[in-house]
Amino acid sequence: MSDAPTAVDVALRALRHRDLSARELDERLQAKGFEESDRDDALATLERTGLLDDRRFAENRARSLAARGAGDAAIRHALATAGVASELLEDVFETIEPEAERARSIAARRGASPKTARYLSGKGFSEEVVAGVVAGRSADELG
């Protein structure tokens, strides 16, 4: 009997630290040298038991990124990079505060200035939202 950890053991260890998408977990198992059939079996087992859930991962990751001031484009990119299916992406945005409201909150803290507009653009907010937030202030406030 071998003492080498199974794919499920390695996956459970990885999930202990933070939630991962199925693709991220598969990539970790592949990097550890597990064959495709072992990886597939491990992922199926963890999905069946509810320990691996791409919807939960996507919703939690989107909420976390939104709370840290990310715009929809940045959230969409992060989730797509993690391997979240495109059909889940749109559903996720229904679970977080709308982008315009997040941008208004940031502008209220930072002030509606060209600098804030650049900041929002860099955080993945759409041009329409950035323009709306900044244009919503009077020319005097923008300096």
What pLDDT score does 13 carry?
95
Q: Compute the C-alpha angle 88/92/97, nearest 5°.
A: 165
Q: Are residues 80 and 105 in the same domain?
A: no
- CATH number of the domain within which 11 lies: 1.10.10.10
Q: Are residues 108 and 126 in the same domain?
A: yes
Q: Compute the C-alpha angle 28/33/34, nearest 5°.
A: 85
Q: Are residues 23 and 48 in the same domain?
A: yes
Number of domains making up the chain: 3
Q: Are residues 70 and 45 in the same domain?
A: no
Q: Are residues 1 and 41 in the same domain?
A: yes
Q: Are residues 82 and 103 in the same domain?
A: no
For the chain (143 residues), the mean pLDDT of every run of 10, in chain order, is 85 94 97 96 96 96 96 96 92 94 93 92 95 67 40
d(CA 79, CA 62): 8
DSSP string, 43-111: HHHHHHTTS--HHHHHHHHHHHHHHTT--HHHHHHHHHHTT--HHHHHHHHTTS--HHHHHHHHHHHH-
Q: Are residues 32 and 64 in the same domain?
A: no
Q: Are residues 115 and 135 in the same domain?
A: yes
What pLDDT score does 140 carry?
38
Closest to 9 (Cα-Cα) out of 48, 40, 42: 42
> Residue 122 in 3-state DSSP?
helix
Q: Are residues 45 and 6 in the same domain?
A: yes
For the entire predicted model, the pTM comes to 0.85
Instruction: For residue 39, give its domain range.
Output: 1-52
Q: Are residues 42 and 14 in the same domain?
A: yes
Q: Are residues 65 and 112 in the same domain?
A: no
Q: Are residues 58 and 48 in the same domain?
A: no
Given a contact cutoff of 8 angstroms between Cβ atoms, the answer to whether 91 and 118 are in contact is: no
